[in-house]
Structure 1
Amino acid sequence: MRISELEGKRVAIWGYGREGRSALAALRWRLPSQPVTVFCSHDEAEPLRDMQDPALRIETSVNADMLAEHEVVVKSPGISPYTSPAADAALNGVRFIGASGLWFAEPAAGKRICVTGSKGKSTTTALLAHLLRASGARTALAGNIGLPLLELLDVQPPPAYWAIELSSYQTGEASDVDVAVVLNLFPEHLDWHGSEARYYADKLALVTRAAPRMAVLNAGDPRLVELDVPPSTKVHWFNHADGWHLREAMVYRGEQPVLDARHVPLPGRHNRLNLCAALATVEALGLDAVALAASAASFRALPHRLQSLGLRHGIESVNDSISTTPQSTIAALDCYRGRRVALLVGGYDRGLDWGVCVERIAAEPVTAVVTMGQNGPRIHEKLKPLAQGGRFILAEAEEVSEAVKLGLQALGHDGVLLLSPGAASFPRYRDYIDRGRHFAKAAGFDPDLINTIPGLGVA
């Protein structure tokens, strides 16, 4: 649905975070007198009242009947359409759309490359933008990575490429996609999607529903190998011997060694596979990926993603607050094999299976594990039998500050203090950024120096 089609309709915006703010700004830019209802929190209502906009109605509560007063509701990504009150309102004919969906419906010059995956999508999207810019192309970096697409509405001059990160909440809204990149799949956000099967279906809608002109897929993921790709979509595989893949730390294109990934600031095999995905995408776009590969060495790693904050008293503090699944915690541990590690783990309990992570710790014990958050007690109980006999220190904390103290005590004056929670941050923290900032401060670092995502916007 294009923004112009909202004119004269009963329109609401549900949620006034950054996506909601971008939606209201876009409506006011294109339809300045359009009546709009904003459903928001009490704190969010104050700046809205300060606008003194006579066509704006502000509501600090919401239910299905209130939503049903509107024909179209632009909802924030974190609001699930599968649960009440959204599901009830939809039965009454309310059409829900996200801010990203509004952007995709607008005509825009430049090729659209959309990246998703259960892990690594932000890094891959940023890497892709970095490589495309290294080719001399004007490129936009936006989406779930931290800049809503609607904030780049009508940008001039238009970019040649759009590098767009999409979460599983947004993939179903993509359209007119030139390249869809899917990195990997494992269970996540089951509370939002309602089931593992629906999560996979929603994630893969970027390929199955959007029917992109090309898809770049991970040959090492069985679900992607078996995916029923639309016949109009040409598939390019990475993590395959015939294409871009890894051999130890070396990045290969087929039989050709191209780049020693140890010279790229991306720790861990999973991050190096992200580089393979980005290079495969550059190649799919018709550019010389072999020639551009060396540009990856100047890439700046993103905050809150295996971000080394520095050394204090012999301890390296690593902020991996973006980690929201047990699999991402395992990937973080793999980066620090052979070193003394105090792992801080736990957060919001979404019912994910922690068995795989427990097995990893059983096979390669760390120095200490400190559990915290809502699912901390459940993880602690699973680890307790493994910790018997002093194989590793096992401790419990209420939240991050206490966990940092316990982790530092366990390490003494040597090792890695690793925040890789494997769980969402709420309700204790507003988001993973807030949690990462809290970790940085507790570990003795300035939280204001760790947040900048390089390259957002158009350059």
Structure 2
Amino acid sequence: MPGIERFDIASLYIARLDGRRVALWGWGREGRAAHRALRRRLPGLPLTLFCAPGEVDDARALGDALLTIETDVDAERLSAFALVIKSPGISPYAPEASAAAERGTRFIGGTALWFGEHPQARTICVTGTKGKSTTTALLAHLLRAGGHRTALCGNIGLPLLELLDVNDPPEFWAIELSSYQTRDVAASGVRPGIAVATNVFPEHLDWHGSEARYVEDKLALFTAAKPRIAILNGADRTLAALNLPDSEVRLYGVDAGWHLRGDVVHRGERAVFDTRDVPLPGRHNRGNLCAVLAAIEALGLDAEALAHHAATFQPLPHRLQTLGVRDGIVWVNDSISTTPHATLAALDCFRSRRVALLAGGHDRGIDWSDFAEAMRLHAPAAIVTLGQNGPKIQARLAPVAADAGFALAEAADLVEAVARARALLGCEGVVLLSPGAPSFGAYRDYTERGRHFARLAGFDPEAIAAIPGLGIG
């Protein structure tokens, strides 16, 4: 049986899997894209799919005679394969995966396969705890505005393997990578042309197992994949301290590089662009524009000439998305917020308004103490907690609420939370869904949570959900 000592996945491309024992783990969009990619290159390769019972019928409907479908996953079964191509949401640190890896099984994602098939692609990879989707989409928008055919893909909503074979390849690939995918780039053996990091703070601790491992995995895009040029937020202490001897490092968010002074983007001492007309709510989002301009400059293009096109950028859904006004209340969907840090940034955007915040969701073990302390100085009018970690947040906030002068309420679910927020505000203010926690358990993902919030607020959930610009344009 092939094992780790016989199967080095560096410089991996799909043809190298021929004759190997290969399995797919997960049947979401990424898993289906991986299956199509393997069948396109290796139509005669036997495959095993590990999936949930509810996904079996969908997989069988493909009519793939060489696909074996199993619903029980354990270390013994996984260790029967030389390579397991897993979906991003499946942690390689799960006990069954760790045990199989010790026996020689290698685990990768579709991102590694795509990079192995496209070693010459001009890639700009974007990661970060928050801001990576907006940064990637804004990058693609500005490049296209400058006449450059650009792909917008990756974690933002279009798996790379869905663009495995493109008849008319783009000039540039703007690729968002989550912390689940960054090690895949290093595993492929292909160096990215440019890699961008917006910030790093604790998230996804249940997947990574610890804060230290999360940071290590996130930064593997730089430390292990060794991009030719690394664009780092110099205002982030973790990123600014990175030592990357194999990459040219360029910092933004510092006086010598691209940075904001008030509302104006500067390149060093030179004022370049007033961002007040840019549809990016919050200073943190406009800081992402600095990351984009630094990346465009690193491509050898005139970033200053493209900067003004940011004014025509269409914001992404579920990210500080103003849905509209109902009965005097402004409804804002920030369902993408999955950390307390992101919730604080969202609140900062509405500091001058009466806000009822909806906070809470899946419990990843992140401490809300810093958030509670921040509420002593800059609290909204009301906070309604909900979800699995709602009681923990409530416990942190209860000692603060009376002194800080904000109303504090609990809700069993989003339906009740919206009703309580509406009642607390009356007929004026902002209801802000910025939960600071994932949606798992109650919802499939943050987009489903955001659509439900829109429906409860009286808006068409489908009309607010599309991500503009995905694909090649």
Same fold (TM over 0.5): yes
Tell me the secondary structure at the aligned position of residue 34 of structure 1: coil
Shift of 1:68: 1.4
Counterpart position of 1:225: 240
Q: 1:211 aligned to 2:222?
A: no
8 A contact 2:230–2:250 mirrored in 1: yes
Q: 2:321 aligns with which of 303, 307, 310?
A: 307
Q: 2:63 aligns with which of 52, 59, 63?
A: 52
Letter in 2 for 1:137: H
For residues 342 and 334 of structure 1, the distance between their equivalents in structure 2, rounded to whole angstroms, comes to 13
Shift of 1:140: 0.5
Q: 1:152 aligned to 2:163?
A: yes
Counterpart position of 1:76: 87
Counterpart position of 2:139: 128
Q: 1:25 aligned to 2:36?
A: yes
Shift of 1:176: 2.1
Segments of structure 1 that go 5 or more residues without pairing to the other structure are none
Q: 1:321 aligns with which of 310, 332, 335?
A: 335
For residues 398 and 33 of structure 1, the distance between their equivalents in structure 2, rounded to whole angstroms, comes to 51
Q: 2:105 aligns with which of 76, 94, 98?
A: 94
For residues 71 and 391 of structure 2, the distance between their equivalents in structure 1, rounded to whole angstroms, comes to 35
For residues 277 and 117 of structure 1, the distance between their equivalents in structure 2, rounded to whole angstroms, comes to 11
Go from structure 1 to structure 2 and tell me whether the alpha carbon gap of 1:108 and 1:158 turns closer, same or farther (over 3 Å shift): farther
Shift of 1:108: 5.1
Counterpart position of 1:173: 184
Which portions of structure 1, spanning 4 or more consecutive aligned residues, are displaced by more than 3 angstroms?
A: none
Q: 1:197 aligns with which of 208, 212, 224?
A: 212
Counterpart position of 1:370: 384
Q: 1:433 aligned to 2:444?
A: no
8 A contact 1:371–1:395 mirrored in 2: yes
Go from structure 1 to structure 2 and tell me whether the alpha carbon gap of 1:431 and 1:87 turns closer, same or farther (over 3 Å shift): same
8 A contact 1:346–1:374 mirrored in 2: yes
Counterpart position of 2:5: none
Letter in 2 for 1:375: N
Tell me the secondary structure at the aligned position of residue 235 of structure 2: coil
8 A contact 2:353–2:430 mirrored in 1: yes
Letter in 1 for 2:107: F
Q: 1:138 aligned to 2:149?
A: yes
Shift of 1:390: 8.2
Query: Per-residue displacement from partner, 1:264-297 (whole Å, max 9, x unpaired)?
Result: 1001110011011001110111111111000000
Go from structure 1 to structure 2 and tell me whether the alpha carbon gap of 1:52 and 1:275 turns closer, same or farther (over 3 Å shift): same
Shift of 1:88: 0.8
Query: Per-residue displacement from partner, 1:34-92 (whole Å, max 9, x unpaired)?
Result: 11111111221111111221101111221111111211100011111112111011111
Letter in 2 for 1:391: G
RMSD between aligned alpha carbons?
Answer: 1.1
Go from structure 1 to structure 2 and tell me whether the alpha carbon gap of 1:38 and 1:32 turns closer, same or farther (over 3 Å shift): same
Counterpart position of 2:24: 13
For residues 279 and 321 of structure 1, the distance between their equivalents in structure 2, rounded to whole angstroms, comes to 27
For residues 226 and 167 of structure 2, the distance between their equivalents in structure 1, rounded to whole angstroms, comes to 28
Letter in 2 for 1:286: G
Query: Which piece of structure 1 moves more, 349-358 or 403-412?
Result: 349-358
Letter in 2 for 1:282: I
Tell me the secondary structure at the aligned position of residue 16 of structure 1: coil
For residues 154 and 109 of structure 1, the distance between their equivalents in structure 2, rounded to whole angstroms, comes to 14
**Aligned positions, number:** 458
For residues 129 and 64 of structure 2, the distance between their equivalents in structure 1, rounded to whole angstroms, comes to 40
For residues 171 and 316 of structure 1, the distance between their equivalents in structure 2, rounded to whole angstroms, comes to 37
Shift of 1:424: 0.8
For residues 204 and 69 of structure 1, the distance between their equivalents in structure 2, rounded to whole angstroms, comes to 31
8 A contact 1:26–1:150 mirrored in 2: yes
Query: Per-residue displacement from partner, 1:309-331 (whole Å, max 9, x unpaired)?
Result: 01111111111000000000000
Shift of 1:110: 3.4
8 A contact 2:376–2:403 mirrored in 1: no
- The percentage of counterpart residues that share the same residue type is 60
Q: 1:238 aligned to 2:249?
A: no
Counterpart position of 1:395: 409
Query: Per-residue displacement from partner, 1:132-169 (whole Å, max 9, x unpaired)?
Result: 11111110000000000000011121111000000111
Counterpart position of 1:62: 73
Counterpart position of 1:39: 50
For residues 92 and 402 of structure 1, the distance between their equivalents in structure 2, rounded to whole angstroms, comes to 49
For residues 203 and 62 of structure 2, the distance between their equivalents in structure 1, rounded to whole angstroms, comes to 38
For residues 252 and 53 of structure 2, the distance between their equivalents in structure 1, rounded to whole angstroms, comes to 47
For residues 150 and 345 of structure 2, the distance between their equivalents in structure 1, rounded to whole angstroms, comes to 30
8 A contact 1:109–1:160 mirrored in 2: no
Q: 1:295 aligned to 2:295?
A: no
For residues 356 and 252 of structure 1, the distance between their equivalents in structure 2, rounded to whole angstroms, comes to 31
Counterpart position of 2:276: 262
Counterpart position of 1:343: 357
Go from structure 1 to structure 2 and tell me whether the alpha carbon gap of 1:167 and 1:390 turns closer, same or farther (over 3 Å shift): closer
For residues 391 and 222 of structure 1, the distance between their equivalents in structure 2, rounded to whole angstroms, comes to 33
Shift of 1:400: 1.0
For residues 332 and 150 of structure 1, the distance between their equivalents in structure 2, rounded to whole angstroms, comes to 33
Tell me the secondary structure at the aligned position of residue 394 of structure 1: strand
8 A contact 1:109–1:158 mirrored in 2: no
Letter in 1 for 2:323: L
8 A contact 2:351–2:380 mirrored in 1: no
8 A contact 2:375–2:404 mirrored in 1: no
